[in-house]
Amino acid sequence: MKDSFNRKIKHIRFSLTSKCQYSCLYCDSEGYSKTHELTVEEITKLCKILAEILDVTRIKFTGGEPLCREEIIQIIKNVSDLQLYKDISMTTNGLLLLEKAEELYKAGLNRINVSLASLKPEVYKKIYGADTLDKVLKGLQKAKEVGFNPIKLNFVLMKNINNNEMENFIDFCGKNGFILQLIELHKVSDAIGGNGDFYEQHHLDVKPIVEEIEEKAEQTIVRGSMQNRKVFILPNSAVIETITPSHEFCMGCTKLRVGCDGNLFGCLYRSDLGKNIKEAIQNHHSLSKYEQIVKQVVEDREPYY
């Protein structure tokens, strides 16, 4: 299914909960509203419906923090058992990976992204509000040990906070075989609360950094299926993927987002344009009814930048 800008939906990004153990400085809340969460059965059914309507085979579970969801192992297993998704991934803060990595892998989770904005304990605590870096790093090693591959680290660059840690992260990823996702801090829209003051104080244009990395890279790849992101492979075998908010970024967007309450929306910055599908699921409507709802949301998508 394509929107009016000829962008085909290829991926589902599904928030499972608004709960999180952290209070991150840069949190954008994924555009969800803190309301009643979908049940395990509703999540499973919606994943099946979206795969059938959109003909997608990739889904990423997010939060809040998805591992805060008590039924997370069952959710992953249910979606894996549908045999409709070839790629089931998750974005997590990593705090509970040490305990849950093996179960998640056995349940059918293919890969993980871990939010990691510092390798320095004191800076990590400042960013996330918790002194838990050591446990997260142990969780990363556990995830690697049980077989997760690739493992990506989401590194949001912030001026006067962690902008002096790039080389440390490149070395860390090169040694451990992790992929570094270098993310430019984005300004959250008014529709989901905004973060204007924080953005103004800590935003850093990553373009010069990306250009410097590209000069050092042995190979450069453009992921046309993922918002035209540039991926660099460095001499130490570190892989760096860059995510920068821009019009090109938006024009390459292929995601449909699902809030933990069942709200479908086509853009992180415009969750207010979404349409909730929970009532339709509870009323056991026909596939054509679900398709009508999904089509409306997809057609309302437009580039934010």
C-alpha dihedral over 182, 184, 189, 192, to 10 degrees? 30
CB 241 within 8 A of CB 181: yes
Closest of 209, 304, 166, 205 to residue 247, by C-alpha: 304
Average pLDDT of the segment spanning 184-204: 72
The whole-chain average pLDDT of the chain stands at 89
Average pLDDT over residues 280-300: 88
- More reliable by pLDDT, 30 or 167: 167
Nearest CA to 161 out of 134, 125, 194, 187 is that of 125
Could you confirm whether domain 11-299 is CATH 3.20.20.70? yes
User: Once rounded to an integer, what is the mean pLDDT over residues 178-188?
Assistant: 89
Give the Cβ contact number of residue 8 at 10 Å: 13
Q: Could you give the CA distance from residue 139 to residue 96 in angstroms, rounded to a whole number? A: 7
Is it the case that residue 189 has pLDDT exceeding 50?
Answer: no
Q: Cα separation of 45 and 66, whole Å? A: 18
pLDDT value of position 225: 58
Which residues make beta-bridge pairs with 155? 182
pLDDT confidence band for 35 (50 / 70 / 90): low
What is the per-residue pLDDT across 136-178, written as a single tens digit (0 to 9) for each?
999 999 999 999 999 999 999 999 999 999 999 999 999 999 9
Condensed to tens digits (0 to 9), the pLDDT of residues 243-259 reads 887 666 677 788 999 99
What is residue 53's predicted lDDT score, i.e. its pLDDT? 95
Amino acid identity, residue 163?
N
- DSSP β-ladder status, 111-115 and 151-157: parallel
Q: Backbone dihedral region of 237: left (phi > 0), alpha (psi from -120 to 50 degrees) or beta?
A: left
Angle at 234 between CA 228 and CA 239, to 5 degrees: 50
pLDDT at residue 191 is higher than 60: no
Higher pLDDT, 12 or 247: 12
With beta carbons less than 8 A apart as the criterion, state whether 35 and 280 touch: no
Q: What is the pLDDT of residues 81-126, one digit of tens each?
A: 999 999 999 999 999 999 999 999 999 999 999 999 999 999 999 9
The per-residue pLDDT for range 44-61, each reduced to its tens digit, is 999 999 999 999 999 999
In the structure, what pLDDT confidence band is assigned to residue 240 with cuts at 50, 70 and 90? very high
Cα-based angle 135, 159, 171 (whole degrees, multiple of 5): 50
Amino acid 31: pLDDT: 47
Average confidence (pLDDT) over 125-140: 96
pLDDT attached to residue 5:
84
